[in-house]
Amino acid sequence: MGEVVQVDDRSPLIRYNPSAAWIHSREALALDKDFELYGGKTFSQTWNANFTFSFHGTGVQIHGVNNTAPLFGPYSVILASDDGPSTTTSYTGFQSPLYSNITLPPGRYTVTLVVDGPYHVNVDHVGSVLIPRNDQD
Protein backbone atom coordinates (compact mmCIF):
# COMPACT_ATOMS: atom_id res chain seq x y z
CA MET A 1 0.00 0.00 0.00
CA GLY A 2 1.21 3.49 -0.77
CA GLU A 3 1.58 6.42 1.57
CA VAL A 4 -1.67 7.96 2.83
CA VAL A 5 -1.70 11.74 2.60
CA GLN A 6 -4.21 13.83 4.55
CA VAL A 7 -5.18 17.18 3.01
CA ASP A 8 -6.86 19.64 5.39
CA ASP A 9 -10.12 21.30 4.32
CA ARG A 10 -8.38 24.71 4.19
CA SER A 11 -5.69 23.52 1.76
CA PRO A 12 -5.48 25.32 -1.60
CA LEU A 13 -5.40 21.83 -3.18
CA ILE A 14 -9.15 21.64 -2.54
CA ARG A 15 -11.15 23.93 -4.83
CA TYR A 16 -14.49 25.20 -3.50
CA ASN A 17 -17.11 26.31 -6.05
CA PRO A 18 -18.50 28.87 -5.68
CA SER A 19 -16.05 29.84 -2.97
CA ALA A 20 -18.55 32.22 -1.33
CA ALA A 21 -20.92 29.27 -0.71
CA TRP A 22 -18.43 27.54 1.60
CA ILE A 23 -17.70 28.75 5.14
CA HIS A 24 -14.58 27.80 7.06
CA SER A 25 -15.83 27.08 10.56
CA ARG A 26 -13.53 29.58 12.23
CA GLU A 27 -15.41 32.26 10.26
CA ALA A 28 -18.72 30.90 11.58
CA LEU A 29 -17.83 31.16 15.27
CA ALA A 30 -19.96 34.25 15.83
CA LEU A 31 -22.85 32.83 13.81
CA ASP A 32 -23.38 29.43 15.39
CA LYS A 33 -23.84 28.43 19.03
CA ASP A 34 -22.91 24.82 18.09
CA PHE A 35 -19.50 25.78 16.69
CA GLU A 36 -17.60 23.45 19.04
CA LEU A 37 -19.43 20.45 17.53
CA TYR A 38 -17.78 20.92 14.16
CA GLY A 39 -14.90 23.36 14.74
CA GLY A 40 -12.08 23.05 12.22
CA LYS A 41 -14.29 22.08 9.29
CA THR A 42 -15.63 23.74 6.15
CA PHE A 43 -19.33 23.63 5.38
CA SER A 44 -21.96 24.69 2.88
CA GLN A 45 -25.73 24.57 2.72
CA THR A 46 -25.98 25.92 -0.82
CA TRP A 47 -27.63 23.66 -3.39
CA ASN A 48 -25.08 22.52 -6.05
CA ALA A 49 -22.10 24.01 -4.20
CA ASN A 50 -19.18 21.62 -4.67
CA PHE A 51 -15.56 21.01 -3.94
CA THR A 52 -13.00 19.28 -6.12
CA PHE A 53 -9.76 17.51 -5.27
CA SER A 54 -7.38 15.91 -7.80
CA PHE A 55 -4.82 13.25 -6.94
CA HIS A 56 -2.61 10.54 -8.43
CA GLY A 57 -3.07 7.33 -6.48
CA THR A 58 -5.13 4.27 -5.63
CA GLY A 59 -7.70 5.57 -3.18
CA VAL A 60 -9.51 8.52 -1.67
CA GLN A 61 -11.60 9.26 1.40
CA ILE A 62 -13.58 12.37 2.33
CA HIS A 63 -14.04 12.93 6.06
CA GLY A 64 -16.58 15.22 7.66
CA VAL A 65 -19.26 15.54 10.29
CA ASN A 66 -21.13 12.32 10.96
CA ASN A 67 -24.70 13.48 11.47
CA THR A 68 -28.25 13.03 10.20
CA ALA A 69 -31.21 14.99 8.82
CA PRO A 70 -33.00 17.32 9.19
CA LEU A 71 -30.04 19.66 9.77
CA PHE A 72 -27.63 17.73 7.56
CA GLY A 73 -28.74 16.71 4.11
CA PRO A 74 -27.91 14.69 1.01
CA TYR A 75 -24.83 15.00 -1.17
CA SER A 76 -23.31 13.27 -4.20
CA VAL A 77 -19.73 12.28 -4.93
CA ILE A 78 -18.39 12.09 -8.48
CA LEU A 79 -15.14 10.21 -9.09
CA ALA A 80 -13.59 10.87 -12.49
CA SER A 81 -10.51 9.21 -13.97
CA ASP A 82 -8.22 10.31 -16.75
CA ASP A 83 -8.52 6.75 -18.10
CA GLY A 84 -12.25 6.12 -17.96
CA PRO A 85 -15.77 7.30 -17.27
CA SER A 86 -16.79 9.01 -14.06
CA THR A 87 -19.00 7.40 -11.44
CA THR A 88 -21.55 9.20 -9.29
CA THR A 89 -22.66 8.04 -5.86
CA SER A 90 -25.47 9.77 -3.94
CA TYR A 91 -25.82 9.74 -0.17
CA THR A 92 -28.84 10.60 1.94
CA GLY A 93 -27.40 9.46 5.27
CA PHE A 94 -24.16 10.53 6.82
CA GLN A 95 -21.24 8.39 7.69
CA SER A 96 -17.64 8.83 8.66
CA PRO A 97 -15.93 8.92 6.26
CA LEU A 98 -18.44 10.70 4.03
CA TYR A 99 -16.97 8.82 1.04
CA SER A 100 -14.38 6.09 0.65
CA ASN A 101 -12.92 4.23 -2.31
CA ILE A 102 -9.49 2.77 -1.53
CA THR A 103 -9.34 0.04 -4.18
CA LEU A 104 -8.82 2.12 -7.32
CA PRO A 105 -6.40 1.07 -10.04
CA PRO A 106 -3.34 3.36 -10.06
CA GLY A 107 -4.07 6.57 -11.93
CA ARG A 108 -5.00 10.23 -11.87
CA TYR A 109 -8.43 11.05 -10.44
CA THR A 110 -10.64 13.97 -9.55
CA VAL A 111 -13.20 13.61 -6.78
CA THR A 112 -16.05 16.13 -6.50
CA LEU A 113 -18.57 16.40 -3.67
CA VAL A 114 -21.83 18.19 -4.56
CA VAL A 115 -24.37 19.51 -2.04
CA ASP A 116 -27.76 18.06 -3.11
CA GLY A 117 -30.05 20.35 -1.15
CA PRO A 118 -30.31 23.32 1.20
CA TYR A 119 -28.80 21.37 4.10
CA HIS A 120 -25.39 21.43 5.78
CA VAL A 121 -22.56 19.33 4.40
CA ASN A 122 -19.40 19.57 6.53
CA VAL A 123 -15.92 18.56 5.34
CA ASP A 124 -12.92 18.09 7.63
CA HIS A 125 -10.22 16.66 5.34
CA VAL A 126 -9.54 14.54 2.27
CA GLY A 127 -7.18 11.58 2.37
CA SER A 128 -5.61 9.99 -0.68
CA VAL A 129 -3.52 6.87 -1.09
CA LEU A 130 -0.49 7.69 -3.19
CA ILE A 131 1.02 5.24 -5.64
CA PRO A 132 4.19 3.76 -4.10
CA ARG A 133 7.37 5.04 -5.69
CA ASN A 134 9.75 2.64 -7.33
CA ASP A 135 13.19 3.26 -5.80
CA GLN A 136 14.74 2.86 -9.26
CA ASP A 137 12.74 5.71 -10.82
pLDDT at 61 > cutoff 80: yes
Query: Cβ-count burial of 126 within 10 angstroms (0-12 exposed, 13-18 middle, 19+ buried)?
Result: buried
Q: Which amino acid is at 8?
A: D
Span 28-52, average pLDDT: 72
Q: How confident is the model at residue 24 (pLDDT cuts 50, 70, 90)?
A: confident
Average of per-residue pLDDT across 4-28: 86
pLDDT of residue 36: 56
Quote the pLDDT of residue 136. 40
**Choice between 50 and 3, residue whose per-residue pLDDT is larger:** 50
Residue 11's Cα: distance from chain center in Å?
12
- What pLDDT is stored for residue 137 in this prediction? 41
Where do the structural domains in the chain lie, given as residue ranges? 4-130
At 14, is the pLDDT very low, low, confident or very high (cuts 50, 70, 90)?
A: very high
Given a cut of 60, whether residue 28 has pLDDT beyond it is: no
Domain 4-130: assigned CATH number: 2.60.120.260
Q: Considering the entire predicted model, what is its pTM?
A: 0.79
Average of per-residue pLDDT across 105-128: 88
